[in-house]
Structure formats: C-alpha cells, structure tokens
Structure 1
C-alpha cells in the first residue's frame, strides 16, 4: 500500500536561542517596537546568510524570550500566533520582515511570556518563515541540516539581544523546532527525566497517537485524546506494584513519599508544556492499567 502523501510544509518554525549565564541583573522579557524591528532585521540577515532562499520568505518574529516549554506545546501555539498576526501585516508577501514588540508595555495577541518560567538558562525568541510551499520546503530542509551544527547568531545580533534584554548571553544560536525537541530530549535525559520525554514528544509530534509510561519505579501514566492520565495509587496498591516483598515500614513510607513527589514533578512538567493532566484513583484496582483505559 503506498504511503500517504506528506503534508506540505507551510512554514519554518524556529527560534533564536540565548544561553544565559546566572545573573541577578534586572531582566526585560520583551522589547519595544523600535528595538524589535532592529533585532528582526539582524535575524533576517543571519538567516539569509545560512540559506539564500530564506531572504525571499517572510520573517515574522516577536522580540520576547520564552522558556522551551512555552514553545514546545501541542499545536505550536506561539508559532501559530505569529503566523496569524503576520498574515494580517500590510505589504506584498515575499521577503518581508515583520517584528512584534511592546506597545505601552504590552505585546499583541497571546505572545506574553510567562514570568513564572523566566529563570531558566535557555531563553528562546520564536520566529516563523512563510511563503510559497515549494520555497518554504527547500529552506526548511536546508535549515534542518545546517542550524544545529552551524547556526551561530551574528555578533551584532547577540550583542543587541544581550544589551536590550539585560541578559548575560554565553551563546546565541538558531534552532528549528525539531532541533529544539532534540535538545530538550537530551536535557530531560541529563535531568533524570528521560522516561517522560516520549510522552511529551507524542503530544507534540503525533497528538493522535497513544503513549504510555509503564516503567517501574516511575509513575504509571497514559497519553490519549490530547491529555495525560496519571494513576493515583493507594499505599497498598503502590506496594503491590513497586515494593515487592519489602516489609520495612519506614522504607515503604519513604518510597511512597518519593513516588508521590515524582508524580507531582511529572504533572508539573506536563502542564508546563500545556498538556492537560488528570489523576485517576486506582485504590482498589488489581491492575491499575484498567483505570486508565
């Protein structure tokens, strides 16, 4: 049976990634419109330097920086918001540079970064490149091959971002959304969270599919229908699944507390990625999998 045709590439989703050094200096989350235009011009120049065809596409970006979890959400809402706002901008399509900054301290649409997620070491300025499908596809393929290895931002771009946002920038580079997924997967692994990433990845890249985390001693959870269910186990149900023949009450109590903390950690991470989470109580279930179906 022939495979279904691939979906046309309608835009390139990417970001200018700023790796920041620890600092107590005041931080600006977004720039005003004049600074946004200046930064966008530099970004457009950088991208055209990687792939000549990028200069023939419309660049639309917001001069605000976000946590990776704010970009890596089902449906790519930040990039979609940029596409929608950019589509309303005046001018003939092809080679436009469209920048969004603050007006009276406020960003347009749903572009406001979350202050609660502003302290991470990696900050991202999202952008989209759009145009004719065949042109977008060619630029997309080229950037997917180039950026992760050679996508350093120009010195002027990095300096402007550092000074305007008040960041202490150690590295400034460009990433596609798929590069960012790969980088985040590695970060999850280094943080001891590798077991959760396949669930997040399914929600991002294959939201119609189902994914389970069923790997003791990790919590049991299921992704389906756009949300995650986490199995909530009573102490006895947890002991049957995770503790084997352990009899020491203090060890059991400590193990159960660690398990509950891990559940809360996973729920918080999933919610940061805007993946809805519900808890399914499985106090009396001999097989908690049944409660999640």
Structure 2
C-alpha cells in the first residue's frame, strides 16, 4: 500500500470504523435490503455483545450500526461517507442517561430503506455484503479499542453462531460466514481481491484516492491506460489509434494484432473507469490531440 493514514481519525474525534461482513452462498440473494427497526436493534445488540467479548473496552463506547447491506466498494469511498452518516446520526440521537448507547438504523415503518443506507442496485449480486458500524466515545478509550481491533479482528473476528443465524433469518439469505472487520481490514481484503483479478496496476492510484484524496498520483505504465489522480478525481487519456500504437505497441506490424490490442486497451479503460466509479471516484476522460504528449494533455 502507498499510504496508511489512521482511518479512525477521519473526523476530529477518534472513531472505530468497521463492518459486519456476510459471505453469501453462491446462489443466495438477500430477500431484504435492510431490516426493520426491531430486527435492526436485535442484531446490533448481538454485534455489541460479540465485539465486547473480543475487545472489552468496546462496551464503554457508543455503538452505531446500520442494518443494511452494501457492496464493499460503497463503503470504501473517499471520506467514508456511509460511516460519516452514521456519526452524524449518532450526534442527533437523543440520550437517555449517561452510559454507552447501542443505536441501530434500519428500514422505516413502510419497509423503505432510508436514502443514506440505500445500496446501489448496480452493485448488487456479489457474494460479500457488508453492514457498517462504528464505535465512538471518550477519545483515549476509543483509540485503545481501535488499536486492539486493528491488531486482532482480521484473525479472530468471527461472529458468534447465533449472530450469524440472526442475520441469515433476518435478511432471508444463506450465509456461509459472518465476521467482523475494521475498515482497514476491508481495504486490505479488497486490495488482495483486485490483485487476483488483474487490477493491481490500478491499486496505488485507487488507494491514494481513498486515503489521501488531496494527493496527486499517476498511473503511467504502458500498455496500461494513462491516468492521473488530482483534485479528488481521475483523468484518463483517450488516445488516437496511431498514438496508442506508438505508446503501447511500437514495432508491431500485424494489423489484426494491432486491432485486437487497441480493443483490449479500450476495454481496460472501461474496466478501470467502472472500478473507480464504484468507489465513488469521479473519472474524466481527456481526448488527446494526435501527436500531443498525453501527460501534457492531462496536466
């Protein structure tokens, strides 16, 4: 990874950002996108029990949970918008007494999922669905819980059997595994998944967009597409066929191989754009004038 800032400090007050990750059976499709308020509260209570047993200090913090499932890319976006929304809703929630709270959000009385927790239907269908949670409280205690979870949750964070069963019955889906992850853990798992899918060349740029969105970084590694991340967006160079040939296939004379190579390059551009956009990173396509230096065109 190119950068490793403390995700828990995306706001002024430290927070513990994590997910309940549900690995579905191959042919399983959840019957519900979000749970009703009563079921959401019941699942949140089990989550608090499980994580409190793993990291006792978590019991002294507020737990905020959304009983709605997302594709991992929807939570791994610049600024962590879903978790940020959880923090905002916690700040507005009424307080009864002085102790730590469990605050759960789910579908409304009509069964509709509130907009902040409405998953993108274009990103449905994956086997891994994730439900966001955060812990927050006194800063020193929160930092201690964050450090503890980062050190052990990936290895030891399996949900208890009754928690997994509760999630399975509540969402109407067959669940193979249910486990707790920090957002850092989810980021690392996504990096490995993308590497296995041949997307490793894109990862440094995507990671910068997520963890250091104010930074500039290039992907300049022919025959990969030329990309520049700057100002919170990615600019992608669209080359003429002759310029693509000079950059990516110099010396190739066979016209069939050239045509196939150009088609593969354009497919790679679409693939990169789709991944970036799934992670909430805007993509701007820059047409490069014939003969122009493509880096200059993206500057």
Q: Name the TM-score, length of structure 2 as normaliser.
A: 0.93
Residue matched to 1:166: 172
- Is the Cα–Cα contact under 8 Å of residues 219 and 263 in structure 1 kept in the other structure? yes
- Is the Cα–Cα contact under 8 Å of residues 58 and 93 in structure 1 kept in the other structure? no
| Residue 204 (structure 1) aligned to one of 210, 215, 218 | 210
**Counterparts of 1:50-199 in structure 2 under 5 Å?**
50-91=54-95, 92=97, 94-103=99-108, 104-199=110-205
Whole-angstrom distance in 1 between the partners of 2:234 and 2:61: 37
**Counterparts of 1:251-270 in structure 2 under 5 Å?**
251-270=257-276
- Is the Cα–Cα contact under 8 Å of residues 232 and 280 in structure 1 kept in the other structure? yes
Moved more, 27-36 or 135-144: 27-36
Residue matched to 2:14: 10
Whole-angstrom distance in 1 between the partners of 2:72 and 2:111: 23
Which runs of no fewer than 5 residues in structure 2 stay unpaired? 1-5
**Counterparts of 1:25-36 in structure 2 under 5 Å?**
27-36=31-40
- Is the Cα–Cα contact under 8 Å of residues 27 and 165 in structure 1 kept in the other structure? yes
- Equivalenced residues, count: 288
Q: CA deviation at 1:278?
A: 0.3
Q: CA deviation at 1:107?
A: 2.9
Q: CA deviation at 1:287?
A: 2.0
Q: Calculate the aligned-residue CA RMSD, in Å.
A: 1.4
4+ long deviations beyond 6 Å: none
Which runs of no fewer than 5 residues in structure 1 stay unpaired? 1-5
Q: CA deviation at 1:161?
A: 0.7
| Residues 46-96 of structure 1: CA deviation (Å, up to 9, x unaligned) | 110111110110000110110010000000000000111111111145420
Q: CA deviation at 1:248?
A: 1.0
| Residue 21 (structure 1) aligned to one of 10, 16, 25 | 25
Moved more, 37-46 or 104-113: 104-113
